[in-house]
Structure 1
Amino acid sequence: MRGSAARRRVIAVTGVAALLALAGACGKAGGDDDGGGAKAGSGVSAGAASQGASGEPASEGGKGLSQKTLDRLALSGQDVPGYGVTAVSGKGSSVDRGSVTAYRAATPAPCRPVYAAAQLGSLHDFTAQVVQDVVSDSDGLGEHASVSLASYTRADARSVMSELRAALAQCTTADMRPSPAHPDAGLGFTGAQPRPVSGYGDEAVAFEATQVIVGSGAGPAIPVTVLVVRQDATIATFMSLNPVQPPAIPQDVLDAQLKKLA
């Protein structure tokens, strides 16, 4: 579970860093400006993201991609000028295969797909995975996204999406927490609200929630926005969080990643 704990720490630290950076930037930013990003569930279409073709297969015979192939499809700094791209899992870093165990033990049980998606994962075993933090070089609004690519069998990829939709319908008032058997999990989520979304990949699901720190005393409650897109047998999950204004996934990051998967 070492990789699992490390990934959760990265997401939690991102939230705290955003809190500090954005608090310092409040005087620069208009309160109603979302920075031009794509708010999950805003109902906007994919635009240029759906028009590109990378030439790479989205799956290998419906069996999922190899790690080497998925690494090539993940974002690099050249794909998103003005952003720093840091690998957390895969693409030269150790691949985190332990988190799914904690996701499968989260409570309440019907909300586990939402809990997993909010942490860039699912309840299914993947064939390959890349998780990256993409952060703007400008400190003006602290624009950032955590981006996960995970490849599955085609049947499992479809199940990831159907399970997430079903769970969101049941979990709008749930307090989602890690199991006591996984005390290092660290993060909980509450108030998950599905949002309409269209035009991305083969299918897409979007929701918003509030991230809370579990088991460490009072901590910041940070709004998060999540967009999950299926492109054949690959699931791309985008997450952004912002303690000052409604979080938004940078549109250029979203477009660049989906273009590489198309």
Structure 2
Amino acid sequence: MISEHAPAKINLALHLRRRRPDGYHDLESIFAFTAFGDTLSADAADGLNLTLAGPTAASADVGDDNLVLRAARALAAAAGVTAGARLHLDKQIPVAAGLGGGSADAAAALRLLNRLWGLNWPLERLATLAEPLGADVPVCVHSRTMFGAGKGEALSEWPYNQAGTPVLLVNPRVAVPTGPVFAGWDQQDRGGISAGIGLDRLRNDMTAAAVAIQPVIADVLAALTAAGEAELVRMSGSGATCLALYADDAARDRAAAGLAGRGWWLCPTRIIGPDSGLR
């Protein structure tokens, strides 16, 4: 059996530009990935099947529409593979949390089966195959800090290396469906992302709509700010997970200790870089 890490995705910035005729939104985002995530394992089998375990497995869909199985079928069809795989997902990432858990798992399936089936496709080819699976799946194939435009699939390198940055993830244990948050956006284009603008001057344009659905998100953002020492406090994706970046592990861990006891999900971790070993 071989395994593959599925790093949680975070958005260091997320600017919405316009709603497209196909129902998606043009956006600009700085994606980053964390050492925290799910783990997907596989060994050879006649057919394709998936089992789940882990603290958030009960909230995930294990049916035929699961993104891991959809990714596996897409790769098998594209590569003309008739072999199967027995897949097992250790689910740690909260569901509907703005951390791209389903997309990360689908991307991990593509990388893992690429190895299991001996295809040796480059990540760029896997990312292209991933586009119909969801807007975040292509960047999750790469799982490193990148700039995304279009639906999020038009990817380019981000010039600043965030690897190793300590980050605290906080979720108030509420789920926020992405669709209603997009629908609640005020449709105001407040400008795009430029590498010359500091992260602290960028934003997440989905925050107000997410807070309207789950007001506790505002409490999390306020608590992270009030704890002090954070270099950046922001909601990730469509919420409800919020993140804070720190200069060192000690500052991050002090913030985590200060937020303990509220019943929120806390995850001290760090941003990973291109040397994370993904294949």
Superposition TM-score, scaled by structure 1 size = 0.27
Q: Point out the structure with max Rg over C-alpha.
A: 2
